């Protein structure tokens, strides 16, 4: 009788341990999600601009999120990639001065210095093109908000200065953003 009771206790312990082991991945996932949400911050455009004008983009390099407001005040949020280092990060006010579908890409002079093996130019539509399917050109030379073929970059410090989005999302943003949209990188 005693060995039967010990068997039941051992089985219960074993089943309990198995349940904990199976549940552990979801506990870990829940913790990761909680950390991501707690670091996310929504900005109010009024804290940065006087009027909506043609629209506003605020890209937060700390939370790696871009918010876009249209002229009528509707807002959408997109996850982004951000520059690798603070030295590559330009912050402040600018605006969208040009938009291109399937833009070609050429490394900047400083990129060529750091990476002389890079090609001098990659044509638009090429899967190796780091600008993806759309680009919003800013008034700052060499800075863009653009798509990326490499989806692993989104949510990370991975760019040489630009703000990157998933291609599907930059295509949506491209349609919503007119030239003249105000931009602030913080």
Neighbours of 182 (CB within 10 A): 21
Count of C-beta atoms within a 10 Å radius of residue 71: 13
Backbone dihedral angles phi then psi of residue 74, each to the nearest 5 degrees:
-75, 140
User: Which residues does the annotation mark as catalytic?
Assistant: 146, 162
Tokens of 13: 């312990």
> Distance between CA 5 and CA 132 in Å, rounded?
65
* C-alpha 167 chain-centroid distance: 11
- 172 and 136 in contact (C-beta within 8 Å)? no
**Residue 92: which region, alpha, beta or left (left: phi > 0; alpha: psi -120 to 50)?**
left
Q: Per residue in 118-143, is it b (16+ CB within 10 Å) or e — as a string? A: eeeebebeeeebbbbbbbbbbebebb
């Amino acid at each position: 009788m005693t060995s039967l009771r010990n068997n039941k206790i051992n089985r219960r312990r074993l089943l309990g341990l198995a349940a904990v082991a199976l549940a552990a991945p979801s506990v870990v996932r829940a913790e990761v999600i909680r950390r991501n949400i707690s670091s996310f911050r929504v900005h109010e455009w009024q804290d940065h601009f006087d009027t909506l004008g043609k629209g506003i983009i605020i890209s937060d390099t700390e939370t790696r999120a871009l918010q876009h407001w249209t002229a009528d005040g509707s807002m959408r949020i997109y996850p982004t990639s951000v520059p690798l280092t603070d030295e590559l990060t330009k912050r402040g006010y600018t605006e969208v001065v040009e938009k291109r579908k399937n833009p070609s890409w050429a490394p900047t002079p400083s990129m060529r210095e750091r990476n002389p093996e890079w090609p001098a130019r990659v044509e638009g539509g090429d899967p190796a093109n780091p600008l993806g399917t759309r680009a919003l050109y800013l008034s700052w030379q060499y800075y863009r908000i653009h798509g990326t073929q490499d989806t692993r970059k989104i949510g990370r410090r991975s760019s040489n200065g630009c703000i990157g989005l998933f291609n599907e999302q930059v295509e949506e943003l491209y349609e919503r953003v007119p030239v003249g949209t105000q931009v602030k990188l913080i």
